Amino acid sequence: MEQGKKEKTSALIKVIEGGPLEIKGNFILNDLKRDITETPAEVYLCRCGKSSEMPFCDGSHKKF
Ligand code: FES
């Protein structure tokens, strides 16, 4: 994202019980660790800490 440029975003964030955060809509995902900035339509972000695809849910939460 260009510095100083403001982008309009809106998203729905749903907490899935025992699972990830579901985020849908118009938003920007800025993953500083992997140097990625993208605008996906939806993502599932891990809340359990067990995913091998962090920050994304890989379904590992179902194993515990
Ligand atoms: S919430 Fe699904 S792997 Fe962590």
Q: Ligand 1 pocket test: which of 51, 53, 63, 64 has the largest number of ligand atoms within 8 Å of its C-beta?
A: 51
- 10 with 37: CB under 8 angstroms? no
Ligand 1 atom having least distance to the Cα of 53: 3
Annotated domain spans of the chain: 14-63
Facing residues of 57 across strands?
none
For all residues of the chain together, what is the average pLDDT?
88
The residue whose two tokens read 């900035």 is 37
Q: What is the pTM of this model?
A: 0.78
CA nearest ligand 1 atom 2, residue: 57
Tokens of 16: 């899935």
Query: Cα(15) to centroid of ligand 1, in Å?
Result: 12
* Average pLDDT rounded to a whole number, residues 49-57: 94
Facing residues of 56 across strands?
45
CA–CA separation, 15 and 61 (whole Å): 14
